[in-house]
Structure 1
Amino acid sequence: MKAYTIDLRQKIIDTYESEPISQRELAKRFRVAPSFVVKLLKQYRETGQLAPKSRPGRPRLLDAEQMQVVQDLVEAKNDITLEELCSELHQQFELTVSNAYLHGFGRSDVHFGSPFNMVA
């Protein structure tokens, strides 16, 4: 799920500061979860910031350019194997990527022509 916009966050803060309204009523008015309102108000009180916190997790191995190369390779050669994709990425970018990583990448970002290409 994507983070709520800064504009919505600002409206919630402004309404809370200008009107005598409970956090639950505020959540109902803006159609957000009450826990979101509680966390937003706490974050605003402690830091003065409205921006969403960065999400934890490991950064992607492939950047946008490299993902586009994979997409282009798959479109150019529909029956390309995962091993061939790994080899091509290593040749072009000196980047070592496992078959398992590309398999997961294929399910989310690249649409392979045949499900049989997904076998590692």
Structure 2
Amino acid sequence: MNFKIEVNRIVDQTVIYVAGEIDAYTAPKLREELIAFAEEANPRLTINLRNVDYMDSTGLGVFVGLLKVIRKNNGELKLVELSDRLERLFSITGLNDIIDISSKSEGGVQ
């Protein structure tokens, strides 16, 4: 299965909806698309993962790399609407301590 990305720009914030699976096959394309937004000046990204069915360690790597680029550009990253499974994955790896994660939706209706 592939993944799908939908982007919604709201004032000074970009909300990105990701759906599908994030794995070794799809992670490079996801990284490529997300980094473009992270390289903007002062990026404010909210990534909605409500419709992500599966994520492996390569997916986690995408978000770690994304966070580094966003911080370098004085921006903010927030992940929202993670499934219980994804929340556990970020918690087990300790990434929930360095990435802003919220169970609530933000930045528009989808």
Q: State if a TM-score over 0.5 links the two structures.
A: no
- Between Structure 1 and Structure 2, whose CA radius of gyration is higher? 1
User: TM-score w.r.t. structure 1 length?
Assistant: 0.27
Indicate the structure whose relative CO is greater, using CA pairs within 8 Å and at least 6 residues apart.
2
Q: Which has the higher strand share?
A: 2
